[in-house]
Structure formats: structure tokens, C-alpha cells
Amino acid sequence: MKLLRYGPKGQEKPGLLDAAGTIRDLSSLVPDINGDTLSPGVLAKLASVDPASLPAVTGNPRLGAAVIGMKNLICIGLNYADHAAETGSALPKEPIVFIKSLGALNGPFDDIIIPKNSVKTDWECELAIVIGTTARYVTEEQALDHVAGYAVGNDVSEREWQQERGPTWDKGKGFETFGPLGPYVVTKDEVPDPQNLKMWTDVDGVRQQDGSTKTMIFGVKTLVSYVSQCITLFPGDVIFTGTPPGVGLGKKPTPWFLKAGQQVKVGIEGLGEQVSNTVAYQG
């Protein structure tokens, strides 16, 4: 299934994308796409419903962040061997874990706001793991039992705040609109191998990232297990799993970054695409 949230910001309703690409309203079955909805029992109930029996949503509504109500939005740094190489970084011996502010969550087609005085706003196409059941000290063998599905994430990053303003990465990752998520959550039964998915980013129509989850240093099973040792993962929580090469920071011979008036398209095989326009901060 492809689960989504549609409607004006703050008034989103739960929906399902059927095989023909029509949004079907799920409001009669669940209140939203959140941790409760992503439990195995509720997902099984939704899967048993004929999409044609649900109301079709007309027009082209805005899509909100694909999941809401999470307790944790966790990110993994330098998790692709080829991305680590482009930044001149040593391969990490353990996953680099940091937290992205929940205030960064953004719809997959909403604008990305370039922060005030920023000259180093960057893109990062990432596979997002969506948790379905509480994961606490789980083994790698148990890890996928706790996964509800996957989504496209863009871990937008302000590199000056990330790298030049002190030792913690969180500051460069948590700006408003820096976490586009979606367009939908694809349940794990439709993603047989999360370690073999093509990924891409286009800026103004030019391919910048062209990678694959094959080059992850720490795979989905390892990440869910590892994070669960130090942070309890709750239903609806999301893990951004790192990015392949091709970010602005890694461009040779001169890094370059986003400015207002550009378009960023981020996609992952089988999980859809998100398209964001960049705008200047107004305030």
C-alpha cells in the first residue's frame, strides 16, 4: 500500500494511492497516518479493503508529510561509502546518529525555505525507514519485524551551521522545512529488498545524485537494531538513513549550494518523487 496525507497544511486527511494513481480517502477507517495506523493489525485491516470502495479524492490536493505524530526523527550520517569518499571522510566504525527537529518536517511538494543569511543549503536524498511497532534493544534478525514501510526523505542541510558553528550536526539539520517526507509511505511488503533501490536528485532538471542503497555502510536491519540500543523507537518514528554521493558539499573542484528560485526533485525507486521549490526566508 501507498499511504499518504492530503489537504491544506494542518488539516491533512489520511489517504491511500490506488493502483490507478487515484487518491482514496481513508477518513472513515483511520484518523491520520500515524503510529497507530502503522501497527500491523491496522495495516492488515487497510490492506483487506477494496480501494474502489473508498471515496475518490478529486483534483490535485496538496500532500503533507507522509507520517505525523512521531516522537523521534532520527538521521544517520556518512552512511554511504561513496558519499564518505566524496567528502574526504573516513568510513565510520559505528553509525553516526543525530536528531532532526520535528519542526523541520515538510510536505513533499512544499517549498524549502533557505534560512536567513544562508549560503550553504544542501540537498540529501535519503531512504526513510518508518517504524510500525516499538523497537527496544532488538536484534538485527528482529529489526524488520518493527518496520512498517519506507518513504523518500530529503535531509536538507545548512553546511555552515552543521560544520562550522560547533561540534554538533543537529543545528544544520533542523531548520524549518528541512525535512520533506513522502509523497507516501510504501508498506514493506512492496519493498522486498530495501538494499537495492535506485536514488536520485535533480536540481533545476540536472541530475546531481545518482546512487543506490546498495552502497550503504550500515543497512536497514543494522540501523534499526543499533538505534534501538540507545533510543527507543516508537510507532510512527522515522529514520533517515544517509545519502549517496552528489551533494553540493562534495562537488569538485568547487562546492555549490542551493539558492532561492531553484527546484529540487528527489526520488527513490518504487517510493515516488518529491519536488520542492526553494524560496528565500521572509521575516
pLDDT in tens, 33-82: 999 999 999 999 999 999 999 999 999 999 999 999 999 999 999 999 98
Domains of the chain as residue ranges with CATH: 2-53 (no CATH), 73-280 (3.90.850.10)
The gap between the terminal CA atoms of the chain, to the nearest Å, is 40
pLDDT in tens, 79-113: 999 888 888 888 899 999 999 999 999 999 999 99
- The whole-number pLDDT of residue 166 equals 84
Can you read off the three cell numbers belonging to residue 258?
A: 542551493
- The whole-number pLDDT of residue 39 equals 97
- The whole-number pLDDT of residue 90 equals 87
pLDDT in tens, 226-254: 999 999 999 999 999 999 999 999 999 99
Dihedral sign from CA coordinates of 60, 61, 62, 63: negative
Q: Are 268 and 127 in contact (CB under 8 A)?
A: yes
pLDDT category at 283 given cuts 50, 70, 90 is confident
> Which of 47, 39, 44, 62 shows the shortest CA–CA distance to 16?
47
Over residues 157-178, the mean pLDDT reads: 93
pLDDT category at 264 given cuts 50, 70, 90 is very high
Distance of CA 271 to the CA centre of its chain: 10
CA angle 138, 70, 128 (to 5 degrees): 70
Measuring CA to CA, how many Å separate 259 from each of 155, 200, 252, 278? Answer: 16, 20, 18, 7
* Average pLDDT along the chain: 97
Rounded distance between C-alpha atoms, residue 135 and residue 62, angstroms: 32
- The whole-number pLDDT of residue 86 equals 84
Residue 263, class by beta-carbon neighbours within 10 Å (0-12 exposed, 13-18 middle, 19+ buried)?
middle
> Which of 167, 163, 129, 165 shows the shortest CA–CA distance to 149?
129
- The whole-number pLDDT of residue 24 equals 98
Residue 167 confidence (pLDDT) above 90: no
- The whole-number pLDDT of residue 83 equals 86
Residue 196 confidence (pLDDT) above 90: yes
Over residues 124-148, the mean pLDDT reads: 98
